[in-house]
Amino acid sequence: MELNNTQHGIFKSPCHRPFFIAVHVGVGQHSAQKEKAYKTVMRQACRMGAEELQAAGDPLQAVVAAVSSLEDAPLGNAGLNSNLTVKGVVQCDASTMVGDGAFGAVGAVSGVTNPVRIAGELARQSREPMALGRVRPMFLAGDGAREWALEQGLSAAPSPEAASQWHITDAAQRRWQRYQRLIDEASQSQEAPSSAIGAQRLFKPEGEPGTTMTQDASPPAKRLRTDTTGSSRTATAQHQASASCEEDADCLAYDTVGAVCVDALGRVAASVSSGGIAMKTDGRVGEAAMFGSGCWAADAEPSPDRPAVACSVTGVGEAVMRAGLSRACAEALQVDAAAAAAEADARTSTVDAICGREIRDCVELGQPAGLPCPHRDCGVLAVRVSRSSGGAGGSGGVDVAGCGALGGNLGSQERSSSMAATAGAADEGGQ
């Protein structure tokens, strides 16, 4: 199968150490004109992660390398070409988590080449004690994150003034100008519907059914989301925005990019990075930076009934944060495996089915009364790992027991190389 914006492929490992890497580029509305470019970028991200894993043997470094590659590509909404804030600057969020519990994140940071590298370095350093009992940071925000990056030798702007100009592309400026024009037109209208409803309807009217990666259905278009409180959307503005987006290749993704990884020992890591929603308030931090929301990873516990899991989430940030979606999906995958192991002849549910249930139930239940549920604009890339008893001499092996990705517009029926499994064997792990 081949997905619009998540793919997988199998590569031969020169040292025959099996591993698995998958990437996604969000649930946003992606330009059909750039489908080939998306696939090329995702394949490259998978290869970068695979090369790093083979060189360093650390799944943390692998997901950071993969997501950094996606941040460097001017196609998605992370790093270069990120959405602009209402004041016209780029402020990025990113996080990384490893199965041993190490976590690092940055929020609303400007002027850093790769936000995910700061998150990765925070996660790495969290394993190391500090003198005098000091506590290492887990989450850095704003210009303090940029200054810390410089101190660590990471690529970043030399000053706040220079940082305000980083990562702004012509395409992002065109999007900003288009959205600002629509907001100005709407603010002049006498109508005043709720901003949440207006934001969901800006590009397409409601009514499209949701879809998953394993259904034969065309994905619904992503709605532009803004946090401009009190603005209204007229029918004319909605029609103009929809037509503009369908005709303009600049209307692409509005969401996160991410990756999950499983190494030869069954250890896992996950990462996510985002430029945030379009026209967001300066200083707003989304799910890509929040613990338990944007990504989650947990290695297998001593009991074989609790498999290793890793998730990378994309979607409506505020709804995802209320739900703690990445952690909810990961824990549900582990609970399902434990329940199946406890019953004779029981089978685990598919990763798609479990994550789909969490998107519907957790996101919907977490919504405040009176707000529409945007669960069709959420998606999860997840992997569940099990250990097999096969192998020479009965030695155990590592199987990707299930990998799924689904959401409002994560992709259509087929999958190819955005989910990349690199192994010494020629066969892919089970779905």
314 is catalytic: no
Residue 118: Cβ-neighbour burial (10 angstroms; 0-12, 13-18, 19+): buried
C-beta atoms surrounding 333 within 10 Å:
31
C-beta atoms surrounding 34 within 10 Å:
15
C-beta atoms surrounding 389 within 10 Å:
8
Q: What is the DSSP string of 364-401?
A: HHTSPTTSPP-GGG-EEEEEEEEEES-SGGG--EEEEE
List Cβ neighbours of 28 (8 Å cut-off, separation of 6 or more). Answer: 76, 77, 222, 252, 253, 254, 255, 314, 409
Name the helix (H) or strand (E) containing 109: strand 103-109
Q: Give strand ranges (E) for 195-307.
A: 257-262, 268-274, 295-298
CB 99 within 8 A of CB 297: yes
Q: Write down the catalytic residue from 85, 113, 226, 256.
A: 256
Residue 345: both structure tokens together:
């002849």
List the catalytic residues. Answer: 256
